[in-house]
Amino acid sequence: MLLEVRGLDVAYGDFQVVWDVSIAVAAGEAVALLGPNGSGKSTVVNTISGLVPVQAGEIRFDDQNLTERPTHHRAGLGLAHVLERRRVFPHLTVRQNLMLGAWHPAAKAARARSLERMFALFPRLAERQGQVARTLSGGEQQMLALGRGLMGLPRLLMVDEPFLGLAPQVIGQMRAVFEAIRREGIAILFIEQNVRLALSIASRGYILESGRMAIAGPAKDLIDSPVTRRIFLGG
Amino acid sequence: MSGEIILQAVVSGLLMGLIYALVAVGLSLIFGLMEIVNFAHGEFLMLAMFASFWLWALGGLDPLMSLPLVAAMLAGAGLLVHWGIIRHVLDAPMLAQVCATFGLAVALRAGAQFLWTPDFRVVADPLVAGRVQLGPIFIGQPQLVAGFVCLAAFVALWLFVTRTETGLALQATSQDRQAAAVMGIPTDRMSALGWAIGLGCVAVAGSMLSTFFYIFPDVGTNFALLAFVAVALGGFGSILGSLVAGVLIGLIESLGGLLISPSYKTLIVFALYLAVVLVRPKGLFGRF
């Protein structure tokens, strides 16, 4: 397994929000992390990135223990994270944002090539490369955030709610991009609230409910499961 | 009132404003990077002035010559402050952060009084002295040199932050710390660098100021207050804003002193500060 999270407990101060969550992602696989609002999805990926400290449990990536390591050590190992609400650097240009995505030495060496690849993948970003990121539309910012993540040459790309607030046709484009990313052998772990959309992209899924793992399995099993129905439809 | 006098006030205000701007930009940089207000900023200006003074008094080095040394010393102090104090209070409540830098300010000022007494000192034979006449106006040569050096430091800082890779990472960290960390940028090291650069800027300003200004333990207080006004006026975290605001404050001070009364010159600046806070809290170039 490329990413292995075992028995993760997370708390903000005295307030525990995640209980005993285990997740695994194999190389080249697309996995969805699902759950209603406030179920702890973002907390889990933020903890994997080291932005939130681990209370108990273990995080391993490519057989290295990441549990106690600072956030900035991860990019160099091949773990990229596109944060919730895009989080592009608002006052830097599109090009500068992308350049900063390739910060660790290996990514820096491949920077020119990666940049061309991003502009081929997102022609819109090529047109707007000199523009300051905060002036982009929501969809363009999402593309920039994805591109910035890919500039780090990840083996696993974690994306927090990539489809949130996007127009239907942009969602279509994003799906195509996800396909392209996966064809290159990059694993994806993404957060989504729309079960059908998520499970049409991912081959497997995990569903969180109130900070605990409710159900996990192949996409087609999850879609038909009564547990999924109960969580998302309250039935 | 003649045009010459007004021109004279404009030029002196402009030159003083460049010093205010350089003090302010350090404050702004540090705030932008970690949202911590360095209440000891003025005390570091004082330390830089004393460093210049002692290097002159004991080592025979003119402040212009010792400038790189003083800048390096203060940059080192910045790293030390970040390592010894700031990184321990980064996640602490705001009051703890305020007390940390405010306590540092009190300790430094009291320490300076203890070590060097509250006496006023001057660098008695600066390398550059006297005045030059430019048409109808007179400019103090130390002030002229100080203005140019501060402007040069500003340009260097601007080029570093906008044109170099590390500068971009510094901006990225300031704009979104978590996103920067996820990219692999060592954000703690960027903060430390911010302190080093911030206090380095103060050192350049202090070193230049020591060639024509009294040096005493309380000297930083007024400059720091003006720097706070400049940062609020220019916008927290904006480098260009600090420059414009610093120069503006220098001009307001000198023109206000001339046109209204010298005893009211600081009043005018602080009244302006209040007005900015009420009308446009994010400042002229503010991002927050």
Report chain A's terminal Cα–Cα distance, integer Å. 35
pLDDT reported for residue B287: 65
Question: Which chain B residues touch A156 with a CB distance below 8 Å?
Answer: none
Q: Averaged over B268-281, what is the pLDDT?
A: 87
**Contacts of residue A88 in chain B, CB cutoff 8 Å?**
179
Q: Is pLDDT of A225 > 70?
A: yes
Please tell me the least confidently modeled range out of A9-23, A154-168, B166-180, B230-244.
B230-244
How far is the alpha carbon of B162 from chain A, nearest alpha carbon, in Å?
Answer: 10
In chain B, the DSSP E strands lie at 131-134, 137-140
CB contact under 8 A, A100 and B169: yes
Q: Could you tell me the two tokens for A49?
A: 């990135």
**Alpha carbon distance A83, A229 (integer Å):** 28
- Report the percent of chain A where pLDDT is more than 90: 94
Q: Which residues of B touch A148 (CB under 8 A)?
A: 183
CB-CB under 8 Å, B182 with A100:
no
User: Residue type at B80?
Assistant: L
Give the pLDDT of residue A163: 93
Which CATH number belongs to the domain containing residue B242 in this structure? 1.10.3470
Q: Which tens digits make up the pLDDT trace of A86-102? A: 999 999 999 999 999 99
- Examine residue B90 and state whether it is found in any structural domain, yes or no: yes
The confidence score (pLDDT) of residue A142 equals: 95
The yes-or-no verdict on residue B1 having pLDDT over 90 is: no
pLDDT in tens, B80-107: 999 999 999 988 999 999 999 999 999 9
Token couple for A216: 């996990």
Is A96 an 8 Å CB contact of chain B?
Answer: yes
**Angle at CA of residue B217, ends B211 and B222, nearest 5°:** 75
> How far apart, in whole angstroms, are the C-alpha atoms of residue A214 and residue A22?
11
Size of interface A-B (CB pairs under 8 A): 69
Beta bridge partners of A30: A188
Task: Give the nearest partner residue to A83 out of B178, B184, B185, using CB atoms.
Answer: B178
pLDDT in tens, A120-150: 999 999 999 999 999 999 999 999 999 999 9
Confidence of residue A235 (pLDDT cuts 50, 70, 90): low
What are the backbone angles phi and psi of residue A20, rounded to the nearest 5°?
A: 50, 55
Query: Which value does ipTM take for this structure?
Result: 0.95
Residue pair A2/A26 in contact by the 8 Å Cβ criterion: yes
Answer yes or no: is pLDDT of A208 > 90: yes
Contact A87 B183 (CB under 8 A): no
- Alpha-carbon distance of B113 to B221, in angstroms, equals 14
Q: Do A49 and B179 touch (CB under 8 A)?
A: no
- Return the pLDDT at B136: 87
DSSP state of B121: B
| Alpha carbon distance, N-terminus to C-terminus of chain B | 41
Number of domains observed in the structure of chain B: 1
Q: Do B184 and A72 touch (CB under 8 A)?
A: yes
Expressed as residue numbers, the domain containing B110 is: 3-119+141-279
8 A C-beta contact, residue A64 and residue A76: no
pLDDT for residue B177 is more than 70 = yes
Residue B288 has pLDDT above 70, yes or no: no
- With an 8 Å Cβ cutoff, are A91 and B187 in contact? no
Q: Which residues in A lie closer than 8 A to residue B183 (C-beta atoms)?
A: 72, 75, 100-101, 103, 148, 152
State the pLDDT at residue B134: 86
Question: Residue B283: its pLDDT value, please?
Answer: 81
Strands of A3-12's sheet in order across: A15-25, A3-12, A56-61, A64-65
Nearest-by-Cβ selection for B176 from A73, A89, A99: A89
pLDDT band at B286 (very low <50, low <70, confident <90, very high): confident
Please give the CATH number for the structural domain made up of A3-78+156-233. 3.40.50.300
Give the C-alpha separation, B282 to B276, whole Å.
8
pLDDT mean across residues, chain A:
95
B273: confidence class by pLDDT, cuts 50, 70, 90: confident
The model's confidence at residue B284, banded by pLDDT at 50, 70 and 90, is confident
Residue percentage of chain A with pLDDT more than 70: 100
- Report d(CA B198, CA B38) in Å as an integer: 10
d(CA A94, CA A135): 10
> What residues does each domain of chain A span?
3-78+156-233, 90-153
Would you state the pLDDT for residue A144?
Answer: 97
Please name every residue paired with B121 in a beta bridge, in sequence order, or none if there are none.
Answer: B215
Segment A192-208 mean pLDDT: 94
Computed over every residue of chain B, the mean pLDDT equals 94
- The answer, yes or no, to whether residue B276 has pLDDT greater than 80, is yes
In a domain, B127, yes or no: no
Q: From residue B48, give the alpha-carbon distance in Å to each of A201, B65, B143.
A: 61, 14, 17
Asked whether the predicted pLDDT for residue B69 surpasses 60, the reply is yes
Q: Considering chain B, what percentage of its residues have pLDDT values greater than 90?
A: 80
Helical H segments across A34-137, by residue range? 41-48, 94-101, 105-109, 111-121, 123-127
Cα three-residue angle A27-A7-A51, rounded to 5 degrees: 75
Asked if residues A27 and A46 have their Cβ atoms less than 8 Å apart, the reply is no
The residue of chain B with its CA nearest to that of A148 is B183
Sign of the torsion formed by the C-alpha atoms of A41, A46, A49 and A55: negative
Q: Which residues pair with B133 in a beta bridge?
A: B138
Average pLDDT of the segment spanning B102-129:
95
Instruction: Tell me the pLDDT tens digit for each residue of A47-74.
Output: 999 999 999 999 999 999 999 999 999 9
> Are residues B231 and B31 in contact, defined by beta-carbon separation less than 8 angstroms?
yes
